[in-house]
Amino acid sequence: MWKNGDTGGVRKALAFSFVVLGLSSLVAQVLLVRELLGVFYGNEFFIGWTLFAWLAWTAAGALLAGRLHAGPGNSVRPLVICHALAAVLMPALLAGIRAGPTLLGGVPGAVPDLLPAMGFALAALAPLCLVLGAQFVFASRAWPGGEQADASRVLGRGYLLETAGFVVGGLLFSFYLVAARETSVAGLIGCLNAMAGFVLCLGFRDRSPGPRMALVAAVAVLAPAAVYSPRIERETAAWRFPGQILVEARNSIHGNLAVTAIARQLNFYENGLLLGTEDEQLASEPLAHYPMLWHPDPRRVLLIGGGFNGALGEILKHGPEHVEYIELDPILIDMARRYTGAARRQALADPRVDTIIADGRFYLSRLAAGGSTGRYDVVIVNLPGPGTALISRFYSREFFRDVRRQLAPGGVLAVRLAFSPDYLGRELENLGAAIYQTLRAEFASVALLPEYEILFLATAGDTPAPAAADLVARYRQRGLKTDFVIPPAMEERLGNDRIGQVRAAFDANRTAQINRDSRPIACAYTFAYWLRSFHPRAAAFASRASAARWPWGAGLAGLALLGMRAALRRRPERLGPWAMGVGGFTLMACELVLLLGFQMFCGYLYHRLALILAALMLGMA
Q: Output the DSSP codes for 70-94.
A: --TT-THHHHHHHHHHHHHHHHHHH
H or E stretch covering 418: strand 407-418
What gap in Å lies between CA 524 and CA 292, rounded to an integer?
32
Percent of the chain whose pLDDT exceeds 70: 91
> Mean pLDDT across the stretch 127-152?
79
What is the per-residue pLDDT across 528-578, written as a single tens digit (0 to 9) for each?
A: 888 887 777 777 777 677 666 656 667 777 777 777 777 777 777 777 777
Residue 296's closest CA among 477, 514, 561?
477
What integer pLDDT is reported at residue 42 of this predicted model? 63
What integer pLDDT is reported at residue 180 of this predicted model? 80
What integer pLDDT is reported at residue 571 of this predicted model? 78
Cα maximum dimension of the chain: 95
What gap in Å lies between CA 48 and CA 122, rounded to an integer?
12
What is the per-residue pLDDT across 561-574, written as a single tens digit (0 to 9) for each?
A: 777 777 777 777 77
What gap in Å lies between CA 609 and CA 484, rounded to an integer?
43
What is the per-residue pLDDT across 400-441, written as a single tens digit (0 to 9) for each?
A: 999 999 999 999 999 999 888 778 888 899 999 999 999 999
What integer pLDDT is reported at residue 1 of this predicted model? 43
CA angle 136, 605, 544 (to 5 degrees): 95
> Mean pLDDT across the stretch 76-87?
88
Determine contact, residues 247/259, Cβ cutoff 8 Å: yes
What integer pLDDT is reported at residue 403 of this predicted model? 95
Q: How far is CA 284 from the centre of its chain?
A: 26
| Predicted structure pTM score | 0.85
What is the per-residue pLDDT across 325-365, written as a single tens digit (0 to 9) for each?
A: 999 889 999 999 999 888 889 999 999 999 999 989 889 98
What gap in Å lies between CA 292 and CA 37, rounded to an integer?
36
What gap in Å lies between CA 180 and CA 226, rounded to an integer?
13
What integer pLDDT is reported at residue 6 of this predicted model? 65
Q: Quickly count: other Cβ atoms within 10 Å of residue 449's Cβ.
A: 21
Q: How far apart are the first and last CA of the chain?
A: 30
With 50 as the cut, is the pLDDT of residue 250 above it? yes
What integer pLDDT is reported at residue 352 of this predicted model? 96
Q: Are strands 322-327 and 353-357 parallel, antiparallel or unpaired?
A: parallel
Task: Give 111's DSSP letter.
Answer: P
Residue 412 bridge partners (DSSP):
378, 459
What is the per-residue pLDDT across 287-322, written as a single tens digit (0 to 9) for each?
A: 999 999 999 999 999 999 888 888 999 999 999 999
Residue 266 bridge partners (DSSP):
261
Task: Give 452's DSSP letter.
Answer: S
Residue 453's closest CA among 415, 503, 508?
415
What gap in Å lies between CA 295 and CA 302, rounded to an integer?
14
Which residue would you say has higher pLDDT here, 29 or 272? Answer: 29
Task: Report the mean per-residue pLDDT for the chain.
Answer: 84
What gap in Å lies between CA 621 and CA 157, rounded to an integer?
10
Determine contact, residues 192/24, Cβ cutoff 8 Å: yes
What gap in Å lies between CA 446 and CA 65, rounded to an integer?
61
3-state class (DSSP) for residue 533: coil
> Mean pLDDT across the stretch 486-498?
92
Residue 455's closest CA among 504, 430, 421?
421
With 90 as the cut, is the pLDDT of residue 285 above it? yes
What integer pLDDT is reported at residue 481 of this predicted model? 93
With 70 as the cut, is the pLDDT of residue 73 above it? no
Determine contact, residues 7/144, Cβ cutoff 8 Å: yes
Sheet arrangement for strand 265-270: 245-252, 255-262, 265-270, 273-277
What integer pLDDT is reported at residue 151 of this predicted model? 65
Residue 351 CB-half CA count within 13 A: 0
With 90 as the cut, is the pLDDT of residue 371 above it? no
Give Cβ neighbours of residue 328 (< 8 Å, ≥ 6 apart): 254, 305, 357, 358, 359, 360, 603
With 50 as the cut, is the pLDDT of residue 3 above it? no
Residue 355 bridge partners (DSSP):
325
Helices vs strands, H then E, count in the chain: 25, 11
Residue 263's closest CA among 248, 282, 243?
243
Burial of 3 (0-12, 13-18, 19+ CB in 10 A): exposed
With 80 as the cut, is the pLDDT of residue 586 above it? no
Residue 255's closest CA among 178, 370, 193?
178
What gap in Å lies between CA 526 and CA 542, rounded to an integer?
10
Residue 107 CB-half CA count within 13 A: 5
What integer pLDDT is reported at residue 473 of this predicted model? 95
What integer pLDDT is reported at residue 467 of this predicted model? 93
> Mean pLDDT across the stretch 6-31?
87
Burial of 544 (0-12, 13-18, 19+ CB in 10 A): exposed
